[in-house]
Structure 1
């Protein structure tokens, strides 16, 4: 079963940005707008993995442009539930 469902408000913490002008860590916030089960190994995701599509609403990174939807799959193990996005 998937860890998140459509409509869940989530956050993703990231660090180690290679861009010297960007912060070294930040948190992005958004809403799950889709999910997909991957039953087979892929180039990036292992077999039996749920991935999520997220509409990103804002970030602690003031240099980033929000809101946006990039259409990229996001692994569930990089996301966490939050009370607001």
Structure 2
């Protein structure tokens, strides 16, 4: 997975390069309906919710693939932590 983060601290997007998920469930993660939710989000800790997100740091889970949704979101959160620790501010 690749995660893009802008210099002003927003997630510019994610790209799931390869997966071995169940067709019709977790395999929906690369689709824009799910992965597109990350674009424009602040580069801070994101959480997965099962309903329509009510906060800017929430991502709506894929129905029937909550574990996949959480795994992708955890990966994005780890990329944000790496960015904050190593790249933020041009360090």
Q: What is the TM-score with the length of structure 1 in the denominator?
A: 0.34
More helix by share: 2
Q: Which has the higher strand share?
A: 1
Greater CA radius of gyration, 1 or 2?
1
Greater length-normalized contact order (CA 8 Å, ≥ 6 residues apart): 1
